[in-house]
């Protein structure tokens, strides 16, 4: 029998430091998975989840669903706006 795994569904975070702190805290508390809605407060979930993966070692990350409206050409713009959001006001200084 496979061991039971626990995960959390993350909502929004005000900045990148808070988001990555949440990922670190989830991993340190023993959670196996961190999932995010798509979109996450208008931000690209793949970019934010990549940040979570970058600061953890064992945590599995993913989206609840991948919204089709963000696919294709729109994804590039969404990713770019998400990166710009994290960069604004030096929100990525702790990352």
Q: Is residue 63 part of a domain?
A: yes
- The whole-number pLDDT of residue 12 equals 75
- The whole-number pLDDT of residue 89 equals 42
Residue 87 has pLDDT above 60, yes or no: no
With a threshold of 0.85, does the pTM exceed it?
A: no
56 against 94, higher pLDDT: 56
Q: Is residue 19 part of a domain?
A: yes
Strands (E) across the chain are located at: 7-9, 33-36, 60-63
Q: Is residue 41 part of a domain?
A: yes
Q: Is residue 2 part of a domain?
A: no
CA 82 to CA 4: how far, in whole Å?
34
Q: Is residue 58 part of a domain?
A: yes
Convert the pLDDT of each residue in 25-44 to its tens digit. Answer: 999 999 999 988 776 566 67
Q: Is residue 1 part of a domain?
A: no
Q: What range defines the domain where residue 40 resides?
A: 8-90
Q: How many domains does the chain have?
A: 1
CB atoms within 10 A of CB 65: 10
């Amino acid at each position: 029998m496979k061991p039971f795994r626990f995960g959390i569904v993350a909502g929004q975070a005000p900045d990148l430091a808070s988001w990555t702190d949440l990922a670190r805290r989830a991993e340190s508390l023993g959670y196996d998975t961190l999932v995010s809605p798509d979109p996450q407060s208008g931000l690209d979930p793949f970019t934010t989840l990549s940040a979570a993966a970058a600061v953890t070692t064992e945590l599995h990350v993913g989206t609840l669903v991948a919204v089709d409206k963000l696919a294709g050409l729109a994804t590039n713009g969404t990713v770019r706006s998400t990166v710009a959001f994290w960069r604004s006001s030096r929100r990525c200084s702790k990352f």
